[in-house]
Amino acid sequence: MGPAHVLTDADLRAPFESDWTRRFGGPCSMVVRPASTREVASVLGACTARETPVVVQGGNTGLVGGGVPPAATDGTAPVLLSTVRLDHLGSVDLAASQITVGAGVTLARLQGAAGEAGLSFPVDLAARDSATVGGMIATNAGGLHVMRYGPMRAQIVGLEAVLGDGLVVSRLSGLVKDNTGYDLSQLLVGSEGTLAVITAARLRLVPAHPERVVALLGLPDTAAAVAVVDSVRRRVEGLQAAEIFYHDGLEVVLEHAGLAAPFGRPWAVYLLLECAGLTDPSGPLYEALAGLDVSDDGSAVAADRAGIERLWAYRERHTEAVSALGIPHKLDVTLPQARLAEFETAVRSVVSATASGSRLVLFGHVGDGNLHVNVVGPPPEDEAVDEAVLRLVASMGGSISAEHGIGRAKAGWLNLSRSPSELAVMRAVKQALDPAGSLNPGVLFAPRHITG
Ligand code: 2HG
Ligand code: ZN
């Protein structure tokens, strides 16, 4: 790779050693930045032969400590393998509506390439300028359009990856129908760098939908928001995002971003709906909303680019606004749709009981039953509130990770969402693919699960 891509100097390593939340991270012995699959294979082969752990990192936009080294321990400091130089962007295959890209290509670059070909990449999220395709696959990222297109998993036609011992497995032919045994590509989706390093991906693209409309609604409570989404989902074909946020979170965003409030009066709950199509989707959206109890002083609609961006800012700027309050405890959970409103009330009391005096900011993808629970106040290492919220989620039939992954942050509680037999099978897969245990140790599997 050459000395320019093996970083040992502490200052050069520093940006790779701490995550976006500032809650997770630790030292590595060096950062290596391979630019080809062959280079990835030699790095992994060399590290495994020397029993050196490897931490894999994409754009470092993860929120669960899965792409940064663990806090300093007495063990061997890991090598950090950054995939950002695996940035080859193939040309769009129009006949197949597919594209092959390197793992280090950012989401924004991929979206740009798809757009130039008159197509679109179905996954979108706020960290688009830095998040890389490889990291998004490794975490099965979700984002804003899951309700229409599914998460990252649903966009994968095939992958190329390197195992811990340097073996390259490749499935980039682009065949949509291919029933020839185990789907190794899908096995790696969501494996959080614990089974292999993803080096390239063959992805599906969808038709671009130039006609967009966004509505922001003020509503009395979560149950009303869930009811509007259920109704619009059944009536409007192009509904692709349904996002929720709350009065207290909006106040934080307005203050942080210097934005004006969306309506003349505050509402308890805000629901943002986005529809897109080849033809103007606003007619069906208006019709669907006309039949619902939506008040004039709690609704705004935009169909032009600037107006759409203005409405989205209230939702998209939550993450940075919360981060400006302090180091947040971030939990990313899904509930059965029918219990989302009940959960919202319950989580507020659980957080005030376990972390009194803290700030709780809730927002998320209501169309997927996915709420982001952000708590600012408890020190980063105090996990009491994390545990209480995750136990509440499990007791209500939810999942402890909707889209960010388990990482290091939630590894100790994986047994709240996975049965002993599932965990045994997952450990057997890990043992088979990474017998030396060199890939992302401590991510996904904790040395010991918190019981109960
Ligand atoms: C989002 O939906 C991201 O904006 C980040 O998943 C969520 O900051 C968070 O907790
Ligand atoms: Zn999200």
For atom 8 of ligand 1, the residue with the nearest CA is: 319
The verdict on 197 and 293 lying in the same domain is no
- Give the pLDDT confidence of 300-341 residue by residue, as tens digits: 999 999 999 999 999 999 999 999 999 999 999 999 999 999
Report the CATH number that the domain containing residue 290 is assigned in CATH: 3.30.70.2190
The residues, ordered by sequence, that sit 6+ positions from 130 with a Cβ below 8 Å of its Cβ are 59, 60, 61, 106
pTM for the full predicted model: 0.97
Separation CA 220–CA 229 (nearest Å): 14
Q: What is the dihedral of CA 262, 236, 337, 153, to 10 degrees?
A: -100
Query: 131 alpha carbon to ligand 2 midpoint, in Å?
Result: 13
Give the per-residue pLDDT at 452: 45
Report how many domains make up the chain.
3
Return the SS3 of 251: helix
Ligand 1 pocket, residue 126 CB under 6 Å: yes
The verdict on 117 and 92 lying in the same domain is yes
On whether residue 442 sits in a domain, the answer given is no
The verdict on 231 and 345 lying in the same domain is no
On whether residue 448 sits in a domain, the answer given is no
| Domain termination site, one of 153, 181, 208 | 208
The verdict on 284 and 173 lying in the same domain is no
On whether residue 440 sits in a domain, the answer given is no
The verdict on 174 and 38 lying in the same domain is yes
The verdict on 193 and 222 lying in the same domain is no
- Give the pLDDT confidence of 231-284 residue by residue, as tens digits: 999 999 999 999 999 999 999 999 999 999 999 999 999 999 999 999 999 999
Q: Are 134 and 84 in contact (CB under 8 A)?
A: no
| Domain termination site, one of 208, 233, 267 | 208
The verdict on 165 and 264 lying in the same domain is no
Query: Which residue segment(s) compose the domain that 121 sits in?
Result: 1-208
Query: 419 alpha carbon to ligand 1 midpoint, in Å?
Result: 27
Q: What is the DSSP letter of 189?
A: T
The verdict on 42 and 172 lying in the same domain is yes
Ligand 1 pocket, residue 330 CB under 6 Å: yes
Query: 339 alpha carbon to ligand 1 midpoint, in Å?
Result: 21
On whether residue 185 sits in a domain, the answer given is yes
On whether residue 452 sits in a domain, the answer given is no
Backbone angles phi, psi at 91, to 5 degrees: -85, 155
On whether residue 226 sits in a domain, the answer given is yes
Q: Are 143 and 124 in contact (CB under 8 A)?
A: yes
Report the CATH number that the domain containing residue 411 is assigned in CATH: 3.30.70.2740
Instruction: Label the pairing between strands 54-57 and 79-82.
Output: parallel
Mutate which of 361, 363, 366, 403 for ligand 1? The one with the most ligand atoms within 8 Å of its CB, which is 363
Report the CATH number that the domain containing residue 189 is assigned in CATH: 3.30.465.10
The verdict on 192 and 226 lying in the same domain is no
Q: What is the DSSP letter of 226?
A: H
On whether residue 438 sits in a domain, the answer given is no
Ligand 1 pocket, residue 374 CB under 6 Å: yes
Beta bridge partners of 120: 206
On whether residue 196 sits in a domain, the answer given is yes
| Domain termination site, one of 160, 191, 208 | 208
- Between the alpha carbon of residue 307 and those of residues 12, 216, 363, the distances in Å are 40, 11, 21
The verdict on 172 and 49 lying in the same domain is yes
The verdict on 309 and 371 lying in the same domain is no
Give the per-residue pLDDT at 448: 59
The verdict on 308 and 240 lying in the same domain is yes
Q: Which residues of the chain are under the pLDDT cut of 70?
A: 74, 447-452
